[in-house]
């Protein structure tokens, strides 16, 4: 069990906190300081966003963080430069999240090789179709020891959830409502969906994301899953921070 994501879920079953942050945000060189602060103050997993000009699944807050990061000069080449050697300081699992276009242009194999080289553990590529992954890329991802994490939503059929479970590694990202990120849809309405997921007894652990932003929503998500993912609320918390470390510390203590 060499993948850090698997190690995490083997040792911790509940209350896992996964925090998303856009790479190169708020400033270009904040990527590593943010990651270090996240680990130090109690994030179990770090999801690093690879900024894209046209992030279809994201709401305004994460869109703006991407636009700002791109303006700062962030891109895949710069990101891999920044991540060189980051494993000296950071031991929690790290996942890269982003859209397929920049990855395709970089080259799937070259991208996976770089990820493995710097110490990335998994990927979330929401617009990569399942069958294309299975037929064309799965072998490459596995060769480099990278876990691909798929999303499920309240509209995903049970048969498809089963298929996603069989292809996913690491965990499954359960989107709490049919929405873009950062939408204030009430998670209370999703109780039945969370319970349904629980009953399916999936082979992968489940983390819930979208709409998780504070103690109450984090606890609600954790009640039916292994933990939760927070993105938009965290971006808001650090976008104007004068001290990254303090901002991260304050945010995490407001959640756990």
Partner 1 sequence: MKIAENTLGLPYHVDERGFYGRFGGAYVPEMLYPNVEELQNRYLEILREPSFQQEFEQLLRDYVGRPSPLYFAKRLSEKYGAQIYLKREDLNHTGAHKVNNTIGQILLAKRLGKTRIIAETGAGQHGVATATVCALMNMECVIYMGAIDIQRQAPNVARMKMLGATVVAATSGSQTLKDACNEAIRDWINNPVNTHYILGTAAGPHPYPDMVTRFQSVISEEIRKQLEEKTGNPNPNYVVACIGGGSNAAGTYYHFLNEPDVKIIAVEAAGKGVHSGHSAATTQLGKLGIIHAAKTLLMQTDDGQITEPYSISAGLDYPGIGPLHAHLYETGRGTFLAATDDEALAAAYELTRLEGIIPALESSHALAKLGEIPFKPTDVVVVCLSGRGDKDMETFIRNLPNK
> What gap in Å lies between CA 160 and CA 140, rounded to an integer?
23
Decide: is 90 part of the binding site for partner 1 (CB under 8 A): no
Decide: is 80 part of the binding site for partner 1 (CB under 8 A): no
> What gap in Å lies between CA 3 and CA 6, rounded to an integer?
5
Among 32, 113, 183, 200, the residue binding partner 1 under the rule CB under 8 A is: 183
Decide: is 200 part of the binding site for partner 1 (CB under 8 A): no
Decide: is 101 part of the binding site for partner 1 (CB under 8 A): yes
In angstroms, give the least distance from the CB of 169 to partner 1: 17
Site for partner 1 in 116-135 (CB under 8 A): 126-129, 132
Decide: is 148 part of the binding site for partner 1 (CB under 8 A): no
Among 54, 88, 159, 242, the residue binding partner 1 under the rule CB under 8 A is: 54
Q: How many residues bind partner 1 (CB under 8 A)?
A: 40
Decide: is 155 part of the binding site for partner 1 (CB under 8 A): yes
Place of tokens 């933990």: 227
> What gap in Å lies between CA 222 and CA 92, rounded to an integer?
19
Give every CB contact of residue 83 below 8 A, 6+ residues apart in sequence.
31, 118, 119, 120
Catalytically annotated residues: 47, 58
CA distances from 117 to 70, 170, 233 (A): 24, 19, 31
The dihedral over CA atoms of 183, 188, 190, 195, expressed in degrees to the nearest 10, equals: 150
Give me the residues that bind partner 1 (CB under 8 A), please.
Answer: 52-54, 56-57, 59-60, 63-64, 67, 70, 75-77, 99-106, 126-129, 132, 150-153, 155-157, 160, 175, 178-180, 183
């Amino acid at each position: 069990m060499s993948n850090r994501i698997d190690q995490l879920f083997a040792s911790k079953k509940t209350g896992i906190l996964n925090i998303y942050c856009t790479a190169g945000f708020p400033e270009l060189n904040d990527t590593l300081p943010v990651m270090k602060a996240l680990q130090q103050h109690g994030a179990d997993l770090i999801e690093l966003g690879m900024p894209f000009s046209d992030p279809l699944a994201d709401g305004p807050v994460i869109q703006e963080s991407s636009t700002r990061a791109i303006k700062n000069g962030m891109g895949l080449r710069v990101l891999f430069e920044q991540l060189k050697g980051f494993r000296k300081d950071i031991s929690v699992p790290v996942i890269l999240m982003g859209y397929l276009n920049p990855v395709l242009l970089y080259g799937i194999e070259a991208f996976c090789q770089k990820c493995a080289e710097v110490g990335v553990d998994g990927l979330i590529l929401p617009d990569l179709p399942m069958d294309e992954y299975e037929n064309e890329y799965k072998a490459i991802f596995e060769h480099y020891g990278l876990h691909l994490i798929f999303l499920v939503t309240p509209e995903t059929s049970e048969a498809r959830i089963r298929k996603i479970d069989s292809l996913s590694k690491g965990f499954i990202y359960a989107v709490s409502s049919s929405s873009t990120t950062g939408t204030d849809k009430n998670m209370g309405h999703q109780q039945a969906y969370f319970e349904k997921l629980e009953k399916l007894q999936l082979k992968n652990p489940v983390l819930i994301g979208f709409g998780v932003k504070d103690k109450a929503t984090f606890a609600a998500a954790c009640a039916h899953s292994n933990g939760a993912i927070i993105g938009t609320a965290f971006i808001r918390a650090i976008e104007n921070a004068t001290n990254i470390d303090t901002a991260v510390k304050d945010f995490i203590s407001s959640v756990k």
